[in-house]
Amino acid sequence: MYLTNIRLDPYRATGMQEWTVMGKAVRSSVDPAPDPESKARVLWARLAPDMLLVSSDTAPAWGKLPGAITATFHPMPLHEAGERIEWELITAPTERRGEDGKSGKRVPVPESGFEAWLEQRLEGVMEVTSVGWKRLGGRPARFHFDGIATVVDGERLRELSLRGIGAGLQTGAGLLLTQEA
């Protein structure tokens, strides 16, 4: 499992400001011959015009990304139960409005419901003690969440970090980043 920090030259990364274009480029750097049946996991977030973070099962061929200058590989953190951590998440909070809660149209969660939405997704994984967010834009709207939490289950936290949270996983949302507080 890899967490890769890729530095980009924004002037050479043509078209990469669009989430769908960036998503295809990142996916092909991890899985060169994309197979619909592939179980390869890849999440990414563009945190600044010159910074791309990629979480994946295999090391990305970062030289294939337009505008890539350098890459630094980091081990995926494994936190112990009871450990206090800082966390960040870029995602588009949505929910389904069907009668069973699993079907129906996906609609944005109002900001007044963000804390409950996060609590539901992080239940049994980490207990959030503080949270803040700011709107990044897009449709559905993306938000950058950050805060402090206590780890409940380290293995489940690692799995959630690899699987992602919320909508837009293919287009740069859902990557949960953690570090020791």
Instruction: Report pLDDT for 35.
Output: 67
Instruction: Decide which of 139 and 41 is more confident.
Output: 41
Instruction: Report pLDDT for 117.
Output: 96
Sheet holding 2-8, edge to edge: 42-48, 51-56, 2-8, 68-75
Contacts of 36 (CB under 8 A, 6+ apart): none
The yes-or-no answer to whether 2-75 and 84-180 have a common fold is yes
| pLDDT tens digits, one per residue of 64-107 | 888 999 999 988 889 999 999 999 999 989 988 777 767 778 88
Please list, residue by residue across 41-57, b when 16 or more beta carbons sit within 10 angstroms of its beta carbon and e when fewer do.
bbbbbbbeeeebbbbbe
Domain spans, the chain: 2-75, 84-180
Instruction: Decide which of 63 and 98 is more confident.
Output: 63
Using a cut of 0.95, tell me whether the model's pTM lies above it: no
Q: Is the pLDDT of residue 48 over 80?
A: yes
Q: Is the pLDDT of residue 54 over 80?
A: yes
Task: Assess contact for 60 and 30: CB atoms under 8 A.
Answer: yes
Q: Does domain 84-180 have CATH number 3.40.350.10?
A: no
Give 2-75's CATH code, choosing from 2.60.40.10, 3.40.50.720, 3.30.70.600, 3.30.70.1200. Answer: 3.30.70.1200
Instruction: Report pLDDT for 168.
Output: 83
Helix (H, G, I), strand (E, B) or coil at 8: strand
The percentage of residues in the chain with a pLDDT greater than 90, rounded to a whole number, is 46
Instruction: Summarize the confidence of residues 5-19 as an average pLDDT.
Output: 84
| pLDDT tens digits, one per residue of 15-24 | 777 888 888 8
